[in-house]
Chain A
Amino acid sequence: MLKDVTLGQFFPGNTVIHRLDPRTKLILVIVYIVALFTAKSYISYAVVIVVFALCVAVSRIGLKSLFSGLKPILIIIIITAILNILFTRSGRVLLQFWKITVTADGVRIAVFMVVRLMLLIMGTFILTYTTSPISLTEGLERLLSPLKKIKVPVHELAMMMSIALRFIPTLIEETDKIMSAQKARGANFETGSLLDRAKALLPLLVPLFVSAFRRADELAVAMESRCYHGGEGRTRMNVLTMKKRDWTALILGAIFLAAIIALARFGL
């Protein structure tokens, strides 16, 4: 059950998108998000969807893994849809009973919001699915490195992030194990009131935290044993270099954004 969480999971591959520089991909994701929030009309949404679909096709990400990643935010999507349907009062009335009015505008806005949310999440999934967390953090580190001048600990933050990502699957596996162990001794995580279930999580969280601290301690010793001494004087095996395909991708991204903005300007 916990294995379904795909956050921060990387699927190695060798497509063009996999090989793009992480910095390019990070910038493109920002471009994509800006475009997504600029898009207001069917046409501009269609453009975004086509671009998104193209990226998915090129990166050869399975649709299944893409959609399964949406599961954790399903509730947010549903609530967004309901709220938009219920509280939009303008437009032609489709349905009216008791205090509830459903209008055509409401439905339209709800659909737009849901599509936007889904595209937002799945778009960022393309980034995390095709970029190893280490190169992702390296990309972030390099993009943010100007901030070092104002004493922002960029390397340390990047290292913390990559370690956190590295240990997510390990800790999930461990949580599963502890859960089974507690269930075998009669713990009940599934039934009872919300408070009961929250209480039932306590015997799960305590051993998990204890073990996480122990792991952190051992990892620190292992890292120091491998000569880790901060970012100073550290080199990388895979040095990030912007290649021709990166510039091409960035130019395509710029055209995409320009097109969406132009469409928005014309009220489309």
Chain B
Amino acid sequence: MGEMIMSDRIIEMKDLSYAYTAAEGETPRLVLKGIDLEIEEGTFVAVLGHNGSGKSTLAKHMNAVFLPSGGIVYVAGMDTADENLLIEIRRTVGMVFQNPDNQIVANVVEEDVAFAPENLGCPPEEIRRRVDDALKVVGMYDFREHAPHLLSGGQKQRVAIAGVLAMQPKCVVFDEPTAMLDPRGREEVTAIIRRMRDELGTTVVLITHHMEETIDADRLVVMADGRVAMDGTPREIFSQVDRLRELGLDVPQTVDLIYRLNKKGFSMPLDALSPDECAEAVAGALRT
């Protein structure tokens, strides 16, 4: 058994570094370079970064898909390097991936959702209950007997989310869940993510490169070149427009609008993130 740390931190990373195994003679390239990150239970944390920033690699350390090359990762106090805890770690932190097609195991929606609780050895009645509950959360209960390959991308991803929820994890890590979806599917998935935090109290870690999806987060972590570049509330982060641009990241259109207006002589607060807030800020500035 690994060292147990009792805290309300669901994920704790200490000086985490990771390098992919390199070919002989080459020096291994570090993808993660000393990351210290703690995620409190019940929060919605978004991780933003452009391609190659190491954000996906970071996500895969959260349920022991990858093991650290250096440093330690604790999941609910469990050391992910401890093989005896592997199942316990993975049922604590579920993971939803980018491509819904490659996560669905079964030919019928409900049988796919049942996959995880079956692996956990739950009794049949409990599996049934978990499957029904999970399908209702994602709004796919009516499709429970459908074949997954006939569903739309967004629906498939909702089934994949239900498959993870049926494990009843304390935390769900979403690794770019909307990257392959159309705008409607994207909206469906983000609505479920919000509901999970608000109604189920699940800790959510959302890895993404869509700014708009991070606006509702309690906390926003910006990754760049294998390090945590910025860490704060979305308001704090997005008001630092210049710093974000330096990192090769964009800002939401709302912030961008105000930023440009400010350059033209207005002075509005940069933390108006939602379109409504933005409209109000602009209207207020025009009135004066």
Contact = CB atoms under 8 A, between A and B. Distances in A.
Given A162-B106, A165-B107, A235-B121, A224 B149 contact: no
B97 A222 contact: yes
Contacts of A223: 105, 115
A170 B147 CA distance: 12
Interface residues of A, number: 31
Contact of A237 (B86, B91, B117): B117
B107 A226 contact: no
Given A133-B107, A134-B111, A227-B116, A222 B121 contact: no
A218 interface: yes
A219 B102 CA distance: 5
Contact of B167 (A134, A227, A234, A238): A227
B107 A222 contact: no
A59 interface: no
Interface in B93-128: 94-95, 97, 99, 101-108, 110-111, 114-124, 127-128
A225 interface: yes
A224 B90 CA distance: 8
A166 B105 contact: yes
Contacts of B60: 221
B202 to A, nearest CB: 16
A166 B106 CA distance: 6
B200 interface: no
B87 interface: yes
A229 interface: yes
Contacts of A222: 95, 97, 102-103, 105, 160
Contacts of B149: 169-170, 173
Interface in A219-249: 219, 221-229, 233-239
Interface residues of B, number: 43
B104 A166 contact: yes
B168 to A, nearest CB: 11
Prevailing SS type, chain A contact patch: helix
Nearest to B127: A237
A219 B90 contact: no
B164 interface: yes
Contacts of B99: 215, 218
A163 interface: yes
Given A12-B145, A134-B108, A166-B106, A225 B94 contact: yes
B13 interface: no
Contact of A234 (B111, B118, B163): B118
B90 A226 contact: yes
Contacts of B95: 222, 225
A6 interface: no
Contact of B118 (A162, A173, A235): A235
Contacts of A225: 63, 65, 90, 94-95, 97, 164
A170 B148 CA distance: 10
B146 interface: yes
Best-buried of B116, B119, B120 by chain A (most CB within 10 Å)? B119
A12 B167 contact: no
Interface in B118-168: 118-124, 127-128, 131, 145-147, 149, 160, 163-164, 167
A10 B106 CA distance: 12
B101 to A, nearest CB: 6
Contacts of B120: 227
Contacts of A162: 105-107
A238 B105 contact: no
Contacts of A163: 105
A133 B86 CA distance: 29
B87 A218 contact: no
A132 interface: yes
Contacts of B87: 227, 229
Contacts of A170: 101, 149
B163 A226 contact: yes
Contacts of A133: 107
Best-buried of A165, A173, A228, A239 by chain B (most CB within 10 Å)? A228
Given A10-B107, A222-B102, A237-B118, 14 more contacts: A134-B107, A165-B107, A166-B106, A219-B105, A222-B105, A223-B105, A225-B97, A226-B90, A226-B119, A226-B164, A227-B90, A234-B121, A237-B127, A239-B124
Interface of A: 10, 12, 132-134, 162-163, 165-166, 169-170, 173, 215, 218-219, 221-229, 233-239
Interface of B: 60, 63, 65, 86-87, 90-91, 94-95, 97, 99, 101-108, 110-111, 114-124, 127-128, 131, 145-147, 149, 160, 163-164, 167
**8 closest pairs, A vs B, by CB?**
A218-B102, A237-B114, A226-B116, A222-B103, A237-B127, A227-B119, A169-B149, A225-B95
